[in-house]
Amino acid sequence: MAEPLIRIEGVSKRFGDFAAVDNVDLAINENEFFALLGPSGCGKTTLLRMLAGLEVPTEGRILIDGRDMVGVPPNKRPVNMVFQSYAVFPHMTVEQNVGYGLRIDGVAKAERAQRVAEALGLVKLDGLEKRKPDQLSGGQRQRVALARALVKRPRVLLLDEPLSALDAKLREQMRSELAIIQDKVGVTFVMVTHDQDEALAMACRCGVMNKGVLQQVATPSDLYEYPANRFVADFIGSVNLFEGRLVQDEASQALIEAEGARIWVDHGVTGAAGGTVWAALRPEKIELHHREEGAPAPVPAGTPDGANLLAGTVRHYSYLGSETVYEIEVAGGRMVKVLRSNVRRYEDRGFDYDQPVWLSWSPQSPAVLLS
């Protein structure tokens, strides 16, 4: 295994009695697109600023390419940063903005022109060299900031909420383009965002933070399918969380009694029997069935009778084009979200307001969490 390009070892940052970052250990690989993800105030931007040298850790150390960054000023680190506000110079043209750092570094004019042209081509701004920032769209200004950072050929590019100022359609377009650019240039990208869709769409791996603590580091699919705790499960995507008691726990199966539901899973939980656990069930993993008087209830394959089955009533639904989100009221007044694809919408009877239904799910579907 190659040595990670970035090592963050026991790093904390305190402002008075407040711990913005609390004892974080993290390794980021060369050429990786890594996303730090979490709600506002979780410490992700503070951690990014410590990587950039704009904040000094209270404890711990940060190594980049094996070199301890303690005492190394921002302009001497092998990193560059794209700020949320882009921070382009309004009085300079596009090419002057992009070449500014090279000019300050004393790069010869001919080489500077060549590298600026290459950077502008990379971000698809060819032909706009002479324009000023006020003649550009928001997406174009974002590309100028990106080109200005990449033209210096850093080992690490830090991105602080890089797409937050863009409208929804442009943000979606730039997600793909950023990932393509990162793959082309082979630079390690470390991005901070509170937008989970953004992180999951672009990053190779994500680190989820809450209250200064790194909760989990994993690939986007593992974060979604195998969250480490309730916070990660609830923060990543939409989820139905059932609090319950572990009544049976064996090597290949477990049973949880939770809020009127008997939840059967096809794996052991390795938790103390009788203890409190949470079952996380994604809306798209729940099946909806018509519930009619006198008709037998559906039995999910691989489950004992009565498990992984709930009776409910449709209280609301939202049509979202490719899918519909249903809100189903079950026993005790609890609302359960169910996401159903509209691919076969006109081939079945569908579901309407106040309609009685069955909810069922496979024993592979729930993730069981101990905390």
What would the pLDDT profile of 63-88 be if each residue is shown by its tens digit? 999 999 999 999 899 999 888 777 78
pLDDT at residue 112, as a whole number: 92
Between CA 368 and CA 226 the distance in angstroms is 9
The residues of the chain that CATH labels 2.40.50.140 are 242-369
- pLDDT at position 33 over 90: yes
Mean pLDDT of 238-256: 90
- pLDDT at position 325 over 90: yes
- How many angstroms separate the Cα of 136 from the Cα of each of 81, 82, 169, 245? 21, 17, 17, 58
Q: What percent of the chain clears pLDDT 90, i.e. is strictly above it?
A: 61
Between CA 178 and CA 50 the distance in angstroms is 23
pLDDT at residue 225, as a whole number: 94
- pLDDT at position 277 over 80: yes
Residue 1: pLDDT band by 50, 70, 90 thresholds? low
φ, ψ (nearest 5 deg) of residue 182: -60, -40
Domain 242-369: CATH superfamily is Nucleic acid-binding proteins (2.40.50.140)
- pLDDT at position 250 over 90: no
For residue 293, how many other CB atoms are within 10 A of its CB?
5
Between CA 219 and CA 87 the distance in angstroms is 31
Looking at every residue in the chain, the average pLDDT score rounds to 90
Whether 218 and 35 have beta carbons less than 8 Å apart is answered as no
pLDDT at residue 52, as a whole number: 95
Mean pLDDT of 26-53: 95
| pLDDT, tens digit, 9 for 90 and up, residues 187-200 | 999 999 988 888 99
Segment among 11-15, 46-50, 150-154 with least mean pLDDT: 150-154
pLDDT at residue 269, as a whole number: 81
Residue 350: pLDDT band by 50, 70, 90 thresholds? confident
Between CA 68 and CA 165 the distance in angstroms is 34
pLDDT at residue 82, as a whole number: 87
**Residue 305 one-letter amino acid:** D
- pLDDT at position 206 over 90: yes
The residues of the chain that CATH labels 3.40.50.300 are 6-231
Specify the fold of 6-231. Answer: Rossmann fold (3.40.50)
Q: If 0-12 CB within 10 Å is exposed, 13-18 middle and 19+ buried, where does residue 232 land?
A: buried
Mean pLDDT of 279-284: 96
Residue 169: pLDDT band by 50, 70, 90 thresholds? confident
How is residue 205 annotated by DSSP? E
Whether 154 and 75 have beta carbons less than 8 Å apart is answered as no
| pLDDT, tens digit, 9 for 90 and up, residues 96-125 | 999 998 898 899 999 999 999 998 888 888
Residue 267: pLDDT band by 50, 70, 90 thresholds? confident
pLDDT at residue 122, as a whole number: 87
The closest of 229, 237, 212, 208 to 37, measured between CA atoms, is 208
Residue 346: pLDDT band by 50, 70, 90 thresholds? low
Query: Which regions of the chain does DSSP assign to beta strands (E)?
Result: 6-15, 18-28, 33-37, 59-64, 67-68, 79-82, 156-160, 188-193, 205-210, 213-218, 240-249, 254-258, 261-265, 276-281, 287-290, 309-319, 323-330, 335-341, 356-360, 367-369
How is residue 164 annotated by DSSP? T
Q: What percent of the chain clears pLDDT 70, i.e. is strictly above it?
A: 98
- End-to-end CA distance of the chain: give it in Å, rounded: 32
pLDDT at residue 262, as a whole number: 93
Between CA 199 and CA 189 the distance in angstroms is 12
For residue 331, how many other CB atoms are within 10 A of its CB?
11
pLDDT at residue 181, as a whole number: 87
- pLDDT at position 273 over 80: no
